Amino acid sequence: MSDTEAIETEALGAIAGAEDLAALDAVRVAELGKKGRISGLMKTLGKMSPEERQEMGPKLNGLRNRVQEAVEARKAELEEAELDKRLQTERIDMTLPPRVTPEGKLHPVMQVFEEIAAIFGDMGFAVAEGPDIEDDWHNFTALNFPEGHPAREVHDTFFFHPQEGAAPKVLRTHTSPVQVRVMEAQKPPIRIIVPGRVYRNDWDATHTPMFHQVEGLVIEKNIHMGHLKGCLIDFVREFFEVDNVEARFRPHFFPFTEPSAEMDVKYTKKGESIEIGAGDSWMEILGSGMVHPNVLENCGIDPNEYQGFAFGMGVDRLAMLKYGMPDLRPYFEADAGWTRHYGFRPWLSPSVSGGLS
């Protein structure tokens, strides 16, 4: 066995036997360091004759390369083992609770406003708005409520103190005054919905002094009551997200529509909650009708040229029906438990194509 073979055997043995990175590095320095054994042999090449060099060159180079590779390989092994060992000491109890980020929720009424807007938006309705504090003209007179007529009284109106020479301002009792504002400002064709707060002086188990409505208005040339029915039936089907909503229309009286209709949907009661689209009881969900010619005239629209329909629905109750809130009162109490339970996740954005809820 030549010298180089002996050295190689010894070096590789020492590398394999190195227990940690420090021991391995000591071997590397002893063999391949500046003053190392193999480095020393490499230095002897310069003093050799060409023939000797011819023979020893490849041998020594091969030796150095193999030892170097062995060092690298062992180093990788030892690092791997060392990492494993270290990681064994880095345990944390992953069952511990993380920091809690507070959970926000959206109010069901506001969500339902958006659901309704999504459905009607898909039918080409724009969203219009108007002030909560209204004058007598927009809330009543323009809508064909005769002054002093009992039809005004059923509205339980909130009044402000009268100012000189004018009827007192009121808190709007319905979203219908926005119909008037839109028709006064815009020429047909008109398709709008109006979500908003409305106010009536009534407070008991089923009424709150403030509640929410969505108003709808369509004014075009050839819109008749069949479209009213079709549009609203399409709406309730989409809104309740059940296939078999059954609806009916009945005559009713509203001063600002003629003919007027109320719409009922079929429902059944299951325990505390209500199921739409089943059973054989009827529940009123909205009022509607063909816009009264007097209202069109009051807004500067010729009733012989344009006609259309209007509707209004109570959003708080629609939300109750769809999502099963048993009671109206907590709606306005900013109750954390209630909002967390009945509220909606922030990024659930209702759309007809992507699903309402």
Partner 1 sequence: MKFTLSWLQDYLATKASLEDIMAVMLKAGLEVEAVEDPAAKLADFTIAHVKAAEQHPDADRLRVCTVDTVDGEKQIVCGAPNARAGMTAIYAPLGAYIPGLDFALDKKPRKLRGVESQGMLCSTKELEAGEDHDGIADLEGDWAVGTPAAEALGLTDPVIDFEVTPNRPDWLGVYGIARDLAAAGGGRFLENPLRKVEGSYDCPVEIRLEAPEACPVFAGALVRGVKNGPSPDWLQQRLTAIGITPKSLLVDITNYISQDRARPLHAYDAARLKGAITARLGRPGEKLDAIDGKTYDLGEEMCVIADDSGVIGLGGVMGGQSTAVTDETTDVFIESAWFDPLRTARTGRATGIISDARYRFERGVDPESCVDGLNFALALIKEYGGGEISSARIAGAPPVRGTRVAFDRRDVARLTGLEVKPAELKKMLKELGFGIEDAGEAWYLAVPSWRFDIEQSADIVEEVARLVGYDALPTQSLPAPEGGRKVVVTGAQARQRAARRVMASRGFLEAVTWSFMPKTQAEMFGGGSDALTVANPVASELNQMRPSILPNLAIAAQRGFDRGEREMRVFEAGPVYLGDGPKDQRNVVAAIVRPVAERHWSGASAPYDAMAAKADLFALLTELDQPPARFQIEAPRQPHWHPGQSACLKLGPKVTIAHFGALHPRVLKQLDVDGPVYGFELNLSALPQMKARATKTRPVLQRSDLTPIRRDFAFIVDEGVAAAEIIRLASGAEKKLITGVQVFDVYQGTGIEPGRKSIAIEVTIQPEGETLKDKDIDAIADRVVKSVTSGTGGELRG
Site residues for partner 1, 135-154, by CB under 8 A, read: 147-151, 153-154
Taking residues 44 to 73 in sequence order and writing x for each that binds partner 1 by CB under 8 A, - otherwise, the string is: ------------------------------
Closer residue to partner 1, CB minimum distance, 43 or 149:
149
Residues in the chain: 357
117: Cβ–Cβ under 8 A, 6 or more apart, which residues? 125, 127, 193, 195
Question: Residue 337: how many CB atoms within 10 A of its CB?
Answer: 8
Distance CA 157, CA 138 (A): 14
The stretch near partner 1 (CB under 8 A) out of 5-13, 22-30, 31-39, 330-338 is 330-338
Identify the residue whose tokens are 């959970």.
Answer: 103
Residue from 40, 62, 209, 355 binding partner 1 (CB under 8 A): 209
Q: Supply the minimum distance, in Å, between the C-beta of residue 213 and partner 1.
A: 14
Distance CA 204, CA 153 (A): 18
Q: Supply the minimum distance, in Å, between the C-beta of residue 52 and partner 1.
A: 54
Q: Supply the minimum distance, in Å, between the C-beta of residue 75 and partner 1.
A: 33
Distance CA 100, CA 105 (A): 15
Per the CB < 8 A criterion, the answer to whether 315 and 214 are in contact is yes
Considering only residues 222-281, where is the footprint of partner 1 by CB under 8 A? 223-227, 229-231, 233-234, 248-253, 255, 258-262
Size, binding site for partner 1 by CB under 8 A: 96
Distance CA 53, CA 99 (A): 70
Determine, following the binding rule CB under 8 A, whether residue 121 of this chain makes contact with partner 1: yes
Determine, following the binding rule CB under 8 A, whether residue 167 of this chain makes contact with partner 1: no
Closer residue to partner 1, CB minimum distance, 150 or 271:
150
Determine, following the binding rule CB under 8 A, whether residue 168 of this chain makes contact with partner 1: yes
Q: Supply the minimum distance, in Å, between the C-beta of residue 297 and partner 1.
A: 11
Closer residue to partner 1, CB minimum distance, 65 or 351:
351
Determine, following the binding rule CB under 8 A, whether residue 202 of this chain makes contact with partner 1: yes
Instruction: List C-alpha distances in Å: 255 to 176, 248, 301.
Output: 11, 21, 18
Closer residue to partner 1, CB minimum distance, 131 or 324:
131
The stretch near partner 1 (CB under 8 A) out of 1-9, 39-47, 58-66, 109-117 is 109-117
Considering only residues 170-199, where is the footprint of partner 1 by CB under 8 A? 171, 181, 189, 191, 197, 199
Distance CA 240, CA 342 (A): 16
Determine, following the binding rule CB under 8 A, whether residue 341 of this chain makes contact with partner 1: no
Whose CA is closest to 211, among 113, 330, 332? 332
3-state SS, residue 301 = coil
Backbone angles phi, psi at 226, to 5 degrees: -65, -35
Determine, following the binding rule CB under 8 A, whether residue 81 of this chain makes contact with partner 1: no
Could you tell me the two tokens for 111? 């969500």
Strand partners of residue 198: 211
Q: What is the dihedral of CA 196, 132, 265, 240, to 10 degrees?
A: 10
Q: What is the DSSP letter of 279?
A: S
Per the CB < 8 A criterion, the answer to whether 109 and 347 are in contact is no
Whose CA is closest to 254, among 135, 89, 140? 140
Residue from 327, 346, 351, 355 binding partner 1 (CB under 8 A): 346
Closer residue to partner 1, CB minimum distance, 30 or 282:
282
Residue from 47, 161, 271, 354 binding partner 1 (CB under 8 A): 161
Closer residue to partner 1, CB minimum distance, 270 or 340:
340
Identify the residue whose tokens are 């344009």.
Answer: 306
Residue from 25, 132, 241, 275 binding partner 1 (CB under 8 A): 132
Residue from 37, 59, 75, 107 binding partner 1 (CB under 8 A): 107
Determine, following the binding rule CB under 8 A, whether residue 131 of this chain makes contact with partner 1: yes
